[in-house]
Chains A and B, each alone.
Chain A
């Protein structure tokens, strides 16, 4: 029903899309743009864009990757446009005192993920948060599965290296 309604551009489908896919789209968008409000905007814009272009959707199985692709593309474009402004922000959850090895590790890993390039962050989110197969990640990001494998391998290597650089900073230079 959802795909059919989407193909016909029926606006009532938006609520269903938001309910079923909104959080997934938000997660990937947030990983790319690192801003919660911007990520929500991207989810909204992506769903409205999907409504405009639902006619191009071919089958039910393509719906989720298609929506994720729209959200990811919009997030990457947002990132590119917003890259001019640089500001210093305290990293959410970062504390000067390390409360224990597990918390430190978790924060360090999260910080390292945030420091990856945007496309790599998107790949990480799609693969390790949404548990999408490599082939689907490749479909969403419109590159080959081999490229995704390489990027994931490279990302893991980078995370491992970054984790060796503790102690954690309490702030990061953030590109808003």
Chain B
């Protein structure tokens, strides 16, 4: 078999894998799964409040720069906490509003620190009740109302609400909702109150209700029934849009209604051309509302809910809906639509890729440069979009300019959620900052909601004059195993070692560590000299392999990635390259 060429070896490998893996019996049944699900839910309820995990240590470490309990609170011109692996460029605001970045606090008297190019993430305290999948809206006084959501440990929907004060940087509890309103977009009413409502499964509720939050009293009161679902389809995914006259348009599969905050009543307002859910709704300059994307949650094929091929406009003056052709911008994805009105009156619609809608001509234009996978999170004052970009580890942040299609990187968020954790909720603030709060982290099967929050401060926006103590420990419902100790970077020199000197080209922005491991358990069995290749450097590294064999691992972050080469491959031509993305590859001379 050693004489086989690659194609023949691959074919033989497929046969062997088919033979061995195809014959594996799978005894797992749906009933077993259901039992395990119930057991786990029970265990989470029982175990809540116990155990502090290593994540807490990581969070404390990340927050270490905050000088817990220091006298920095409310002191002006304080340098914000510095995220690890990031450089905060501060700039001093000049009279004309422009800024000049520098690498340190300005020496001029009483400067107002502003975020440098790319902006900065700073810590923003911790929520009173950790949660994920919640709704949030900024009030007229600048505070942010956070409501409902889910407790990741129990899976229960929450009724509690709380307020974040971006001036003082504090979180405080406020009155709880009457019912767990799960996702109906909250809307700030002209009188300063907030309208929120249900968006539940039709099977779970007989009526979709609403309630209003009064920031003066901090209490919620019923705002009446909105819909009575008549079909056994999901009623998830309503949109809610504040119209110019102060009324609120709520639209979804079950219909379209207007809420009048003066009379406190709901009334029907026409029928969407294509009733849909999970769509976007954007108030245009002329007062009409553009509805686009989403899915219909019905049709002859239950497995493939049709996607509306057209957008539509709602006209508040007549209460009518008209279809809008989308041409090449027609959706190809049922979920994840996002839209926002830009300063020039056009609408940026992002589905699988971005499009610009010009309301004056009724035309759509494709915009280039969208990263895949990228998730739009907030529109910034300069029309750029803050987005999260999935990466090999933590999601990266980036800024997208829809006019030019250009993409620039932004500093990484402070918190890096586990692979299975929820990412938290982004809430754009009126001053251009973006609040990111909550989410969840999971270690093995144990999930816990996250309470910590952070603020993205765009370039040129003033940094807040406060700092925060270290965030509290995150509690997981069950004890988790201790982390696997990492081997030292520079390992032992094994007896009868075989030596191999390799060129390592580190094209990433982080130093790379070289390891010789057993390739399976991560146990160090050999050595690398030097064992660290600086960012952007090309260095010859000498590896010593033990007689029994070993693998070269080269990682930016220990524990990631697998073996790259074995000692059996000593002498093969080429060099090791750490890509800008942090992947390790072997490049032969021909490549």
Residues of A in contact with B (beta carbons under 8 Å apart): 1-2, 4, 7-9, 11, 14-15, 18-19, 22-23, 26-27, 30-31, 36, 39-40, 43-45, 47-49, 51-53, 55-60, 69-70, 73-74, 77, 79-81, 83, 105-106, 108-110, 113, 116-120, 124-125, 128-129, 142-144, 146-147, 149-151, 153-154, 156-161, 163-164, 175
Find chain B residues with CB under 8 A from A151 CB: 562, 564
A16 vs chain B, min Cβ distance (A): 9
Q: Which of A39, A44, A53 contacts B420 (CB 8 A)?
A: A53
Consensus secondary structure, chain B interface: loop
B30 touches A18 (CB 8 A): yes
B35's nearest neighbour on chain A, judged by CB, is A44
A14 and B13 form a contact (CB under 8 A): no
- On whether the beta carbons of B26 and A43 are closer than 8 Å, the reply is yes
Complex Cα gap A43–B30 (Å): 12
CA distance A70 to B391 in the complex (A): 15
Task: Pick from A19, A40, A147, A161: contact of B583, CB below 8 A.
Answer: A147
Q: A1-B303, A56-B422, A56-B423 are in contact. Are A150 and B520 (CB under 8 A)?
A: no
Residues A144 and B333 in contact, CB atoms below 8 Å apart: no
Contact with A along B7-40 (1 / 0, CB 8 A): 0011011111111110011111110111011001
Residues of B within 8 A of A (CB-CB), count: 79
Find chain A residues with CB under 8 A from B302 CB: 1
If the complex has contacts A142-B392, A143-B392, A160-B9, are A77 and B423 also in contact, measured as CB distance less than 8 A? no
Q: Which residues of B contact A7 (CB under 8 A)?
A: 335
A164 to B27, CA, bound (A): 36
Find B520's partner among A11, A69, A117, A157 (CB 8 Å cutoff). Answer: A117
Q: A14-B34, A70-B419, A119-B562 are in contact. List 6 more A-B contacts (CB 8 A).
A: A8-B236, A18-B29, A45-B444, A56-B423, A73-B419, A120-B562
Q: Residue on A with the closest CB to B523?
A: A83
**Contacts known (A53-B422, A128-B10, A143-B583); A154 close to B30, Cβ less than 8 A:** no
In the bound assembly, the distance between CA atoms of A48 and B445 in angstroms comes to 9
Q: List 8 A-B contacts (CB under 8 A).
A: A48-B33, A59-B336, A81-B481, A109-B16, A116-B519, A124-B17, A146-B583, A151-B564
Within 8 A of A (CB), among B121-162: 133, 152, 155
- Chain A residue with minimal CB distance to B559? A80
Residue picked from A30, A117, A124, A156, most chain B C-beta under 10 Å: A117
Are B333 and A59 interface neighbours, CB within 8 A? yes
B334 within 8 A of A: yes
What CA separation (Å) do A51 and B508 show in the bound complex? 36
Closest to A43 in B: B28
| Alpha-carbon distance A93/B336, docked complex (angstroms) | 49
